[in-house]
Structures are given as structure tokens and as C-alpha cells.
Amino acid sequence: MSESTSAGRPAMADAVDGDEPHIPPHKRGGAWNKPAIGWAMFEFARNPYYLLVIIYIFAPYLAQEVVAANAVAEGLFDGMGEAEAAAAASAHGQAFVAAVTKYSGYFAALTAPILGASLDRGGPRKPVVAIVLGLLGLFSAALWWAKPDGEGLPIVMIGAVMVVAYICFTYSEVIHNAMLSDVARPNVLPQVSGNGLAMGNFAATFLMIVIILCFALPGMIGWPFSAPLFGINIEQHEHERLAGPLAAIWLAIFIWPFFLWCPDTGRKGASWVRAFRDGVAGLLNTLKRARDYKEVLKFLFARMIYADGTSALMALGAVYVTGVLGWNIVERVGYAIWLSIFAGLGGLLGGLLDRTFGIKRAIMIELTMLIIILFLLLSITQESLFYGLVPSVQVLDGTIYSHLHDWFYLLIGAGAGTFVTALLSSSRSMLVAIAPKKMIGEFFGLYAIAGTVTVWLGPMLIEHFTLAFNSQRIGMATLSSLFFLGLIFITFVKYRKGDAVD
């Protein structure tokens, strides 16, 4: 490495421009060249599945209208009072969805690093992407047959479908992340990463608006159409079951720029069997030589802690506002769209913070903001704001966002959506900056496992403290400890960069 390189070029360039780069840096384009756009379009096409199916629309329907309703019909809670039985059924449904996530996470955590290590040694990556995305689309479309009232697919089969789809989603993420370093010049990779996240969230927002305007609201109040389009029957929850097929169709339509424009730097003619064998050996060797990559491992440990906090915050946020603020389904879906809009902006903000302050400082800023935002969110109840200092009053007629506390929660929640996504973007850029170039796929496998190995921690803290104090607010407050610990651990990561990513 020349003296000018070590003194004047950003650390990300040093990390990506290691020995024998896949594509020479001077031949890579900017953040809006075709390879970079193709890479970002991958998230535009695929990410709506996660937001529509896993978080906001299908999973809540599955928990309440399929699993919980089926348990009640089978008499699982006979002998309980009505309210007690309803609460027990809801918990039963939530536990089922949590189990789906748990088993998906177990399998992905055990196999994703091996896949990542194999990518560094295997053949072309796009055929593998095509297989996993094909399965993702197929199983996503199959969720249409997850009908209520015991009809359609059996509950166990629905869970199996979601597990396979979730694993495919994770695999596609590992491969996609490993291809980031080859799509643009090193100094614009943070922007490319942010663009992908922004485009993915904007796509999901658009589809949620379609579901609400074309199906949900027409069926509920006859607006903006007199009836749901295409004969969708909301009594059979077809507007919620449609989330899976709609995500599959969207994926099939918009994934093509990725296959046409994104470079595939896999080795032509390489044996995937040998790559798998060598990948396992390489992964084991990586773990044995952990001291040689201690800065990367310290970062992955810090991310493992704070990423679990962000996951729990976003996943359980709808449960929290339902219980504490009494929000109905229209308000929750509106909140989901609101968050997605600001999450899209967060993807752009992450890239901006990376370039302005440097990636490590950007992560520290983002974690600090999340601690403050969580403190403010928990200060809101139906009666007051700021822990009782400001009373909440009715500001609008009707039942939709009618009180001051509703609007204040929306305002602060926008910050949560923004900085959670910015943190995700900066974290991905950080790994690209400090991981060895030849092992980028392997370390993205470890990156994936760091995001799943403690996925139970946040929900466990919320569960135990909520029960111990009989308070949802205290339960959610425990997430601040994960953000604080992540902030402390990230300060110990030695990042070679100066003050900014140029």
C-alpha cells in the first residue's frame, strides 16, 4: 500500500481495494450507475416481502385470525372468562409466530456463515440467487391459502412455509450483501447501501397503500371505492392474505434489473461442492484465527447486541401501541406506512452520516438517538405526554388519531423508523469497511449469524419485566439497555478511517 493511500484515502477504500479485487476500483462507477442501481433494485423487489408478510400485515393476521381463532374453536381455553380467554388466545397466536421466527433463525444461524464462506470460493452467484428468490416467491404466494376458520392450509404447514421462506430471505441477503463491494467505487458504497434500503422501504410503503385504498377501506367504509377491487372479500381476510401473493408478484416484476446489471464475480466453472467443503474449512479456520480479525469480531459482537434491540422495538411496537394507546387496526396500519416512509429516508440518512462523520461515529450517533427516542416514546400514554407533565387532549373528531398523544407518538415514531434504518445501513457499510476483501462473503455470513444468535434476548427481556412489573412500558424500557451496551461496545472497535468517508 502506498503512503498516499494510507494517509489520504478512506478506510473503506483500503478494505475493499485489497489484493486481487474482483473488479478493479477504477472500473467501478458511481452510486447511480447501472451495477449500483441493479444492486439496489434487489431490495426494491425483495424487501416488501419482509415488511408486508413478516411484520405488518400477514403475521398479525396469522396470529390472531388463524392460530388464536383456531385455538378458541378447539376449546383450548374453555372455562376461562371471555376477556381472559381472548388474552390467552392472542398470546397463543403470538407464541406460534415467535416459534416460526425462532426456528428460522436457528437454521439460518447455523448455515448462513457456511453459505457466505462458500461464496468466496464458488461459482456464479446469480443462479443461486435465482433459486432462493424463486422459492421465496413460491412460498410467499402460497400464503394466500392460509385461510381462517380451519380452511385452507393446516397451521403446521403454514408455519413450515414461512420457515422456508424466511430462510430463503436470509440466504438471499447474505449473497446480496457479499456482492455490494463490486458494484461501485469504494467511496460511494455507503450511499449505494442506503439507496437499497430506501428503495425497499418505499416499495413496501406503496404496496401497503394499495392494500388499504383498494381493498381494506372500500370493504370497511366504502371509500375510495364502493367495494374492494377484484372481488376481494375482507370478511375472509383476503386483503390480509393477499400480502404474500402481492409480494411474490412484485418480486417477479422488479428483480430483473439486478440480474441484468449487477456484476457477478463468482468464479466461472468453480465447483460448488468443493466451495462448500472449502468454505466450511475456511469458516472454522476463521474462528480459530479470531485474534487476527479482532476488530471485525468486536464490531459483530456490538451489532449482535444493538441489532436485537432494534428488531424487538420494531417487531413489538404494534403490540405496545395496541395495549398502551388503544390503537385500532387502521391506526396501526397507518403507523406502519408512516414508519416505512421515514425508514426510506433513514436509508439515505445513514449514507449521509457515514460520509459526514465516518461510519463508526455515525453508528454512535444513531444509537444515541434511539436511546433518546425510546425514552420519549415511553413517556406517552392515553392520558399524558412526558411522563405526566403535559395532559393529552382530543384534537380531532372521530376515533382515528383523535388525541394529542396519538400525534406525538407518530412524530417521535418517525424518528425511530429513520434511525433504525440508518443504523442498519451504517452497520452494513462498517462491515464492508473493516472486513478483509477476500473474506467479505465469509464475514457477511458471520454478520448474519450475529443478527440471529441472540434474537430471543429482546423479547425475553420485555416478557419478564412486563410480567414482573405488570407494565408494558417497563417491559419495553429494557430495550434501552441493549442500545446502551451496543454503544459502549462499538467504542472499542478500532476503525482506521479518519473523520469522514469521502
| Model confidence pLDDT, tens digit, residues 453-464 | 666 677 677 766
- Contact status, residue 189 vs residue 429, Cβ threshold 8 Å: yes
pLDDT digits (tens, 9 = 90+) for 114-124: 787 787 677 88
Structure confidence at residue 253 (pLDDT): 98
- Segment 31-39 mean pLDDT: 92
Say which range, 3-7, 93-97, 301-305, 447-451, has the weakest mean pLDDT: 3-7
Structure confidence at residue 118 (pLDDT): 80
Q: What are phi and psi of 451, to 5 degrees?
A: -85, -5
Say which range, 283-287, 415-419, 437-441, 462-466, has the weakest mean pLDDT: 462-466
How far, in Å, CA of 367 to CA of 147, rounded? 40
pLDDT digits (tens, 9 = 90+) for 230-286: 999 998 989 989 999 999 999 999 999 999 999 887 777 677 777 777 777 776 776
Of residues 400 and 18, which shows the higher confidence score? 400
Most confident range (mean pLDDT) of 85-94, 154-163, 174-183, 190-199 is 154-163
* Confidence band, pLDDT 50/70/90 cuts, at residue 67: confident
Structure confidence at residue 10 (pLDDT): 31
Structure confidence at residue 408 (pLDDT): 94
- Say if residue 4's pLDDT is above 60: no
* Confidence band, pLDDT 50/70/90 cuts, at residue 449: low
The per-residue DSSP string of 121-148 comes to: TSS-SHHHHHHHHHHHHHHHHHGGG--S
User: Average model confidence (pLDDT) for the chain?
Assistant: 82
Share of the chain above pLDDT 90, in %: 35
- Contact status, residue 116 vs residue 287, Cβ threshold 8 Å: no
Looking at residue 186, what DSSP letter applies? Answer: G
pLDDT digits (tens, 9 = 90+) for 289-341: 656 788 888 999 999 899 888 887 877 677 677 657 777 667 878 888 888 78
Show Cβ contacts of residue 350 under 8 Å, excluding neighbours closer than 6 positions: 190, 193, 194, 197, 362, 366, 421, 422, 423, 424, 425, 426, 429
- Say if residue 473's pLDDT is above 50: yes
Say which range, 36-50, 152-166, 268-282, 427-441, has the weakest mean pLDDT: 268-282
Distances (CA, A) of 493 to 291, 293, 300, 486: 13, 11, 10, 11
pTM above 0.85, yes or no: no
Element (H, E) at 384: strand 384-385
Of residues 289 and 173, which shows the higher confidence score? 173
- Cell, residue 4: 498516499
- Say if residue 227's pLDDT is above 90: yes
Query: Any idea which residue has 392515553 for its cell?
Result: 382
- Say if residue 137's pLDDT is above 70: yes
- Say if residue 386's pLDDT is above 70: yes
Distances (CA, A) of 266 to 16, 31, 46: 16, 22, 22
- Say if residue 15's pLDDT is above 70: no
pLDDT digits (tens, 9 = 90+) for 344-356: 788 889 889 998 9
How far, in Å, CA of 269 to CA of 122, rounded? 9
- Say if residue 423's pLDDT is above 90: yes
For the chain, helix, strand, coil in percent to 5 are 75, 0, 25
Distances (CA, A) of 474 to 402, 409, 464, 481: 25, 17, 10, 12
How far, in Å, CA of 35 to CA of 287, rounded? 33
Element (H, E) at 390: strand 390-391
Nearest to 490 by CA among 299, 340, 325, 338: 299
pLDDT digits (tens, 9 = 90+) for 405-414: 999 999 999 9
- Say if residue 448's pLDDT is above 80: no
Structure confidence at residue 385 (pLDDT): 92
Structure confidence at residue 451 (pLDDT): 67
- Segment 369-385 mean pLDDT: 92
